[in-house]
A and B are shown apart, each in its own frame.
Chain A
Amino acid sequence: MLNQIAQAIVLGGYYALIACGLSFMLSVMRVINLAHGSLLVLGGYFLWYLGEHYEISPFVGLLALVPLLALVGWALQRFLLERSARGGELLPILTTFGLSIVLDNLLFEQFGADTRSLAPYIGDLAWDSFELPGDIFVGKIGVLTLVAAIVLLGGLQLFLSRTGTGKAIRATAEDPDTAGIVGIDARKASAIASAIAVGSIGIASAALGMRATFDAYAGGAQLLFAFEATIIGGAGSLWGTLIGGIVLALAQTAGAAIHPQGFLIGGHLAFIFVLFARFFFLPGDFTYRLRRIAGLAK
C-alpha cells in the first residue's frame, strides 16, 4: 500500500512535468496547446537521434533541445497563434490541433512505427533505484523527474511573480490592449511566454524517453495525461498542476488496484469527477462556468 502510494507520487511528478508547458501556456496565454503531446514526442526523437547517431547523452542533448524548442515556441506564437487569434479564441486551439497532426505524421514518415527509448544512453540510471524505509524502492529516474517538475513549476512561478518580464506576461495575458498603453510590448511578452512554455517541453521529452518507450503517435496519450493533470489541479495554477499530476497518478493507481485494467479508467474518472464538481460549485451561468473550467475565463 505505502509502496503503491510512493510509486504514484513519483508518477505524479512525471505527469506534472509533462503538464508544465501546457499549464503555463493555458494560464498565461489562454491557449490549449493540442500540439503539446506531439512536441513532447518530437523532443524525444531529437534526444534519441543524438544518442543513437552521435552517442550524446540525453542530459547533454537537453542543452540544445530546450533552446531549439523555445525557438519553435516563439515562432509558433509569432507565425501561427498570433494570426489565428484574430479569428477568435477557438482558432488558435484548432491551429494547434492541425499542427499536432502534421507533426505526428512527419515523425511517422521519418522514424516509422518502431518504438524508441532513451534508456540505452543513460547507463545505470535507467534501472537504478533508491531504497526507502519499509522495503520501498523508487526509481532514480522517477525521483529525478519529480524533482525536475518541482523545480520547473516553482521556477516558473517565481519568474511570473518576481521579474519584470513575468509581470508583463501576466498583464498581457489579462488585457493586451491596456498592456500596450502602459508601455508593455504585448507581442514580445506573448512570444516570450510561448517560448518558455514550449521550451520547457524539452525537459519533459527527456523524462518521457528515459522512463518508457515512445513512437510517432505517442503524443495523444501524453497530451491527455498532461491535460487531465492541468485541469484537476485547477486550470491556470502552476502549483495546482503538481497536485493535479499526483492526484491523477493516485487515481490511476487506485483504479489498477481495483481492476487489472482500471489504471486509465481510474484517472479518467478522477478527471471527470473534478470537472463536474467544479462545474456545479462555480458561480455564474452555464457558458461562464464552462469557460472558467477550460481556463478561458477568469
Chain B
Amino acid sequence: MAETTGPMLLEAKGVAKRFGALQVLSGVNFTMGQGEAVGIVGPNGAGKTTFLSVLSGAHAASEGRIVFFGKDITATPAMQRCHMGLVRTHQIPRPFSGLTVFENVHVAAVHNGRRNTEAAYQATLEALDLCGMLPIANRQADTIGLLDRKRLELARALAADPKLLLLDEIGGGLTESEAEELVEAIAKLSARGISIIWIEHIVHVLLKIARRLICMDAGRIIADGDPQAVMSHPEVVKAYLGGSPE
C-alpha cells in the first residue's frame, strides 16, 4: 500500500458490491489524502466504474464502510455526498438534453449551496470557461458532439464545487488531441488542490496527472503505488496488459 500524502480525505474499508449473485467488488481497501491525484486502471469488468459508483452513492455498498473527511458516508444518499464535495462524471456522458449547456452547469451550481445567486452564475461561467465551453453555452445539450458532452460532464461536476472529483473514462472515445485538451483542464483543477480519482484506459494520458496508480482486477486492488512500479508489477502485467508495458 502506498503512503497517502496530506490529511486523510477518503477511506474505503473492505468495500464489497454484489449484484444478485455477481460479485463485482470484493474487499476493496483504499485510502487517499487531500490534494492527491490517483489513477485507476484495470481490464474491462475489473469493477472500476462500480467502485466509483459506490463512492459517489449511485450504488450502495453491499459490505464495508466509506469515510469522507472523517465522516462515515456509507449510507449517505448521492445528493448529499455531492453537497459534501464528492462529485463524479460518467463514462457515457449524461447531460440533461432538454436543457442548454449553460443550464446544465448552472443547475449543478445552484443546488450545491450557492442558491440562485450571483455566486452561482459566476461559478457556472468559470466552469464553462475552464472547459472551453463558453462559445457554445447557449446550445441545447442534445445538439453537441461527444467531446463537448465530455467537457460538459466535467464542467457540470466542477460547478458542484468538488473537493474530490471522480472521473470515469473522461478521455474514452476521444482522439489524442481532444484528450490532451481535457488533460489540460484537469491539470488546472489538480493544481488548485482538488483531489482526483480518475479511471482511464489510455495510461499515458492518465499519468500526466496521476502521481499514484491503482490497478484493479476481478473486483480487487492488485497493485497500488508509484505508476512505474505498478505498471511493471507482475500481476498487473499478467492481468491487464498481457505483456510488457510500453
Binding site for B on A (CB under 8 A): 163-164, 167-168, 170-171, 173-175, 177-186, 298
Contacts and interface: CB of A to CB of B under 8 A. Distances in A.
Contacts of A179: 96
B96 A175 contact: yes
B110 A180 contact: no
B107 A182 contact: yes
Contact of B107 (A167, A180, A298): A167
Nearest to A187: B79
B230 to A, nearest CB: 29
A175 B107 CA distance: 13
B110 A171 contact: no
A183 B112 CA distance: 6
A183 B82 contact: yes
B78 A180 contact: yes
A182 B86 CA distance: 10
Contact of B99 (A163, A171, A183, A186): A171
Given A170-B99, A181-B82, 9 more contacts: A167-B103, A167-B106, A174-B96, A178-B96, A179-B96, A182-B111, A182-B157, A183-B82, A186-B79
A183 B96 contact: no
A183 B94 contact: no
A174 B87 CA distance: 19
B83 interface: yes
B111 A185 contact: yes
Contacts of A182: 82, 87, 107-108, 111, 156-157, 160
Nearest to A28: B98
A239 to B, nearest CB: 15
Contacts of A183: 79, 82-83, 87, 108, 111-112, 160
Nearest to A185: B79
A164 B96 contact: no
Which of B56, B57, B108, B112 has the most chain A CB atoms inside 10 A of its CB? B108
A180 B103 contact: no
Interface string B102-133: 01101110111001100010000000000000
Nearest to A183: B82
A164 B160 contact: no
A173 B107 CA distance: 13
- For chain B, give the interface size range: 20 to 34
25 contacts: A164-B106, A167-B103, A170-B99, A170-B103, A171-B99, A171-B107, A174-B97, A175-B94, A178-B96, A180-B77, A180-B78, A180-B82, A181-B57, A181-B78, A181-B79, A181-B82, A182-B107, A182-B111, A182-B157, A183-B79, A183-B87, A184-B111, A185-B111, A186-B79, A298-B97
Contacts of A173: 98
B136 interface: no
A293 to B, nearest CB: 18
A182 B90 CA distance: 11
A173 B114 CA distance: 22
B88 interface: yes
Nearest to A182: B108
A163 B107 CA distance: 9
Contacts of A181: 56-58, 78-79, 82, 87-88
Nearest to A167: B107
A233 B137 CA distance: 29
B78 A170 contact: no
A158 to B, nearest CB: 13
B155 to A, nearest CB: 11
A175 B98 CA distance: 11
Which of B97, B98, B115, B156 has the most chain A CB atoms inside 10 A of its CB? B98
A47 B21 CA distance: 57
Given A180-B82, A181-B82, A167 B110 contact: yes
B245 to A, nearest CB: 33
Which of B78, B83, B87, B97 has the most chain A CB atoms inside 10 A of its CB? B78
Contacts of B77: 180
